[in-house]
Structure 1
Amino acid sequence: MLKRHIAASETSECQSNDSFTVVDNRTGNTYEMPVTDNTISAKDLQKIKSPDGEVTRYFDPGYMNTVNCRSSIAFIDGEKGILEYRGYSIEELAEKSTFLEVAFLLIYGELPTIQQWKKFNKKVMTHTFHHNELRNMMKSFRYDAHPMGMFVSAMSALSTFHPEANPALAGQNCYDDPIARNKQIYRILGTAPTIAASSYRHRIGREYNSPRYGGYTENFFYMLDNLNDSDFKPHPVLVRALDVLFILHAEHELNCSTSAVRHLASANTDIYTCIAGGAAALYGPLHGGANEAVLKMLTKIGTKDNIPAFIEKVKNKEEKLMGFGHRVYKNYDPRAKIVRKVAEEVFEVCGKETLIDIAMELETIALNDPYFIEKKLYPNVDFYSGVIYKAMGFPPDFYPVLFTIPRIAGWLAHWSEFLDDKDKKIVRPRQIYTGHRKRGYELKVERDVKVNVSLESTKSTNGVRRKAAYRYWKSEH
């Protein structure tokens, strides 16, 4: 057992108030650890040894309380419902900025000047085209291939077209050159919507559209929806709505996908594969598929009259309330308030989505129910975004792709920050080993005899290992 002493009277004169004192009751040893930025160093924890001299480890499944980097990109206060990008509130950025401006802010640390904006916008938009062979590769997917599967594969394949940007081929320090690093940033930001639009067109059986100059989100809509109309122009309200959604989804600290990008970057993996890895993490329904799950829940509820019964099932753990609660936020997700306003603007153009009435009524009931208030379950950004995408006509399997495009800005920011981090190391968590030790090797004939004995034993016993051996044998034979 480890005991923490925090009272001033329990610390010695030589100990600092900015420290953490631990008494190991197994050995009687006392350890003092400096506290910096309200954290203690894992290196200091390694000083704590068991009676037999083994290092005492810190067990933290899911990294619930583990800090592995210093970052200046995003700030979140989950208790107060605050989200800031580089110090700017998400509310102000969503109201006044564009997605590409926010991407510049995340990656380079400041909002762009007029000249910086012109250059950045031009660089990104002139990198929206990709190699014809990548297009041919995408066309080789099955007609019903999932858009996210196509996106992950195509983004990873991009690395094969740019060997000069791969540390495994061009040298370990190829990203040290700011020109080379920026080249990849322009290329990935520009190409991502093109790959995404191509995956969508593939899914609906249409020819892929080539990019056309214009705004970032406007160009994306053009590639999605144009049907050989030279005068095609997407609705400005929808363009702005999607641009705001892109801003809201651009960055959210060390979530699963961002951590995956940093994890891969720690091995000096090329940036295209890093981004593909982040997209693969986002593909998981527990991360990037939450808004689709909300849509399915609302559809299942069906009408407002069914909400009370559904709420009771949630309390009895017979149903899950999707779109409520968050790993970080213990207050109203600041993005959710903005999304709700965006929804109203979209419905004025596309017509009111029938599920929105159910969503609003469900929110009202849940926010006034003591059960959900006590558990601090508030709507998150996914609660309304799926309804908006549905109103815009996007199929549910495209929702994770719509999440991926903006989040790439955050991934690129973290990748660039990681490259410049003097404390960076290859990621290598520790484990608690629970398997066998020092087993004697058995020949095949001995293993056969052992399994046969186990099979016979399962008829009269419930031994875990015997049952496991039987299950394996049965599945293979």
Structure 2
Amino acid sequence: MGQQSQVSRDESLTVRDNRTGKTVTIPIVDNAIPATAFKVLKASRKPGEREENETDKGLRVQDKGFLNTAVMNSTITYIDGEAGGAFPQLSFAHFILRAYTTPVPVYSASLPYQHFETEVLRHGILHSDAQGFFRSFRYDAHPMSMLTSAFAMLGSYYSTANPSLQGQRLYTRGNEEACAIMDRQIYRIIGKATALAAMAYRIRQGRDFVTRPNGLSYTGSFMYQMDHIGEEDYVPNPVLEKALDTLFLIHADHELNASCTTVLQTGSSLVDPYSAIAAGCASLYGPLHGGANEAVIRMLISIGSPENVPAFIEAVKRREKTLSGFGHRVYKTSDPRSFIVRKTADEVFKVTGKDELLETAMALHDAAMKDEYFIKRKLAPNVDFWR
């Protein structure tokens, strides 16, 4: 009659397929069930039913948009959407890598941080051909378009890192040699990421490219490559460097967001790491992900000045305008990162001074937070509003 399983009734889900009367008991682990467990629920195809349904091969689970699907377990981060808290237990890239690679016995899990930092900074230099690559873009090309292309380009320089050229088990052998090869690509990707981003920025500014100097931090080197225009003994402003470092840290890990999922899925084909990161950048490009902060800037520019905020608010309520930077798919209260960015912004503007765009943002924030329309809908500012 029904399929029985050696599973505790208290920690399981029993499902009955009314098409066939078949019953299956599925274990519940960490408040989740495996989607593949439903494949045993097979039925005969009805007359006229689409062959593509593959009804006789088992029931499928449909979840458009990953609205209620967990694709992996994490031991280092948790978002409580109702409480508005993100809890990354480990912040630095090095420790994130250690956490994600444990308990898998990989080489990178045992590397001391000092070695990790040295290797990342050592791999921050780009091949001279990269200059020609960036100069091939239009002067007004979008930075994310350039960065996405640049990561894909970077992979073409390291044939030894490409499973398509070296064999599909290049990274999956699990021995020390395979893990050391992966470590080297991690150093390169993290080390060169800021150099690529700085080059994309300077193309837009019409400036020559700058090689990072020795002696600066990872974030300080990035600022140097973006801002240095020939000044003698130029050193990045420490307040601005700390602010950018803070932004790097709070964005280092945030559960399985769109770009992280994209990298995971792309990497599952055993493509080279650079192509996987390029795919992640493409996902980050979108206005519903990393591009949201750009949408905020465009919105603030369109508002123009603080006195125009009330009219904009009313237009949003009439659904004539879009309010960017408020609300979050997971957080049902304020995005906790927004408070950190807001505080950091205050410190930055003590150095740079305020401008009308900031005044408009503050007026919009205050108006929206007091309006019953936004309060009822739990539309609080997220990290993109202040970033």
Judge same fold: TM > 0.5, yes or no.
yes
Per the alignment, residue 451 of structure 1 pairs with: none
Q: Is the 8 A contact 2:209 2:225 kept in 1?
A: yes
The structural deviation recorded for 1:383 is: 0.5
Q: Is the 8 A contact 1:138 1:150 kept in 2?
A: yes
Equivalent residues in 2 for 1:424-443, closer than 5 Å: none
| Coordinate RMSD, CA, aligned | 2.2
> In the alignment, which of 67, 73, 82 is matched to residue 85 of structure 2?
82
Unaligned runs of 5+ in 2: 1-5, 46-54, 101-107
- Paired with 1:14 and 1:190, the residues of 2 have a C-alpha distance of 48
Q: Is the 8 A contact 1:15 1:32 kept in 2?
A: no
Per the alignment, residue 72 of structure 2 pairs with: 69
Per the alignment, residue 197 of structure 2 pairs with: 196
- Paired with 1:373 and 1:304, the residues of 2 have a C-alpha distance of 21
Per the alignment, residue 136 of structure 1 pairs with: 132
Per the alignment, residue 49 of structure 2 pairs with: none
- Paired with 1:316 and 1:139, the residues of 2 have a C-alpha distance of 45
Is 2:161 the counterpart of 1:161? no
The structural deviation recorded for 1:320 is: 1.3
Taking structure 1 as reference, are residues 306 and 172 closer, same or farther at Cα in structure 2, changes over 3 Å only?
A: same
Taking structure 1 as reference, are residues 21 and 324 closer, same or farther at Cα in structure 2, changes over 3 Å only?
A: same
> In the alignment, which of 113, 117, 120 is matched to residue 117 of structure 1?
113
The structural deviation recorded for 1:298 is: 1.8
- Paired with 2:119 and 2:8, the residues of 1 have a C-alpha distance of 55
SS of match in other structure, 2:65: helix
Is 2:347 the counterpart of 1:357? no
How much identity, in percent, do the aligned residues show?
45
State the structure with more CA Rg. 1
Per the alignment, residue 98 of structure 2 pairs with: 108
Which shifted more, 295-304 or 121-130? 295-304
The structural deviation recorded for 1:373 is: 2.3
Q: Is the 8 A contact 1:237 1:346 kept in 2?
A: yes
Residue by residue over 1:65-104, the C-alpha shift from the partner in whole angstroms, topping out at 9 and shown as x without a partner, is 112222334221111111122x25xxxx6xxxxxxxx111
- Paired with 1:27 and 1:353, the residues of 2 have a C-alpha distance of 68
Which shifted more, 177-186 or 335-344? 177-186
- Paired with 2:134 and 2:309, the residues of 1 have a C-alpha distance of 43
SS of match in other structure, 2:20: coil
Per the alignment, residue 42 of structure 1 pairs with: 35
Q: Which amino acid aligns with 1:163?
A: S
> In the alignment, which of 20, 26, 30 is matched to residue 23 of structure 2?
30
Equivalent residues in 2 for 1:419-458, closer than 5 Å: none
> In the alignment, which of 195, 209, 227 is matched to residue 225 of structure 1?
227
Taking structure 1 as reference, are residues 25 and 370 closer, same or farther at Cα in structure 2, changes over 3 Å only?
A: farther
Q: Which amino acid aligns with 2:365?
A: E
Taking structure 1 as reference, are residues 316 and 350 closer, same or farther at Cα in structure 2, changes over 3 Å only?
A: same
Per the alignment, residue 275 of structure 1 pairs with: 277
Is 2:166 the counterpart of 1:170? yes
Per the alignment, residue 303 of structure 1 pairs with: 305
- Paired with 2:319 and 2:38, the residues of 1 have a C-alpha distance of 39
Q: Which amino acid aligns with 2:272?
A: D
Q: Which amino acid aligns with 2:351?
A: V
Taking structure 1 as reference, are residues 29 and 369 closer, same or farther at Cα in structure 2, changes over 3 Å only?
A: farther
Taking structure 1 as reference, are residues 270 and 359 closer, same or farther at Cα in structure 2, changes over 3 Å only?
A: same
Taking structure 1 as reference, are residues 360 and 158 closer, same or farther at Cα in structure 2, changes over 3 Å only?
A: same
Residue by residue over 1:128-167, the C-alpha shift from the partner in whole angstroms, topping out at 9 and shown as x without a partner, is 1011122222223233332222211121111111111111
Taking structure 1 as reference, are residues 27 and 342 closer, same or farther at Cα in structure 2, changes over 3 Å only?
A: same
Per the alignment, residue 406 of structure 1 pairs with: none
Per the alignment, residue 145 of structure 2 pairs with: 149
- Paired with 2:8 and 2:199, the residues of 1 have a C-alpha distance of 62
The structural deviation recorded for 1:204 is: 1.6
Per the alignment, residue 389 of structure 1 pairs with: none
Q: Is the 8 A contact 1:200 1:224 kept in 2?
A: yes
Unaligned runs of 5+ in 1: 1-12, 94-101, 386-477
Alignment length (residue pairs) = 358
Q: Is the 8 A contact 2:7 2:26 kept in 1?
A: no
SS of match in other structure, 2:42: coil
Per the alignment, residue 445 of structure 1 pairs with: none
